[in-house]
Amino acid sequence: MINNTILRYFYIVLIILIVLLLGVFFYTRDSSEEPYQVLTSSVYEKGTKVDLYRDLPPDFPQEIVLEDKVLDYSGSVINPQGKTQTTVSYISDKRSQNIVDIYIKYLPDVGWTVVEKISYPNVSIIRAEKGGDKVIVSIAPVNGSGVMVTFQYEK
C-alpha cells in the first residue's frame, strides 16, 4: 500500500509539470503569424479576406516601423484577385514634424525611395517605394493622445 503523503506529492508534481508544459506550449507559439480572421463587411467585394494581428503581419516590412510601441491597429485586407493592403498604426509621443523628419531621412537608409511628401496643417503624408512595394506613412495628431502614425503597405 502506498503512503498517502507520497501519493499526494506525486499528484502535486504531476499538476506542476502539466501547468509548466502548457505554459511552454503557449509561450513558444508565434501568435503574430496567426491572424484573427473577422467577418467581412458588405462594403468589401465578395471573396475579400480581412485578417487582424496583435503584432506586425508576417509580410509587413519590419524595418519601416521605428518606434517600439503597442500597435493600435494591425490588419490586412486581401481582395479576391490576391492583392493585399496591410495597415499598421500606433500612437507616438513625439511631435508630428519630428516624426516626418525621421522618416524622410530613415526610409532611404533602408532601401525605400521617398517619392512624395505632402504636408497639411494637421496631417503629413509620405509615399515611398521599394521595388514593386509601396508604403504610405500618415502622421496626424490625436486630441490629447499624441500623434497617430499609420502605415499603409501594398505588395
**Tens digits of per-residue pLDDT, 83-113?**
888 999 999 999 999 999 999 999 999 999 9
Per residue in 19-50, pLDDT (tens digit) is: 777 676 666 555 445 555 555 566 677 878 88
Nearest to 148, CA basis, from 75, 99, 92: 92
pTM to 2 decimal places:
0.70
CATH code matching the domain that covers 35-154, chosen among 3.30.310, 3.40.390, 1.10.287, 3.40.50: 3.30.310
| Contact call for residues 68 and 55 (beta carbons, < 8 A) | no
Rg of the chain over CA atoms, in angstroms? 23
Task: Measure CA of the first residue to CA of the last residue in the chain; give whole Å.
Answer: 69
Q: How far apart are CA 32 and CA 53, in angstroms?
A: 6
Could you report the per-residue pLDDT of 55-91, keeping only the tens digit for each?
A: 888 888 988 887 888 888 888 888 888 888 899 999 9
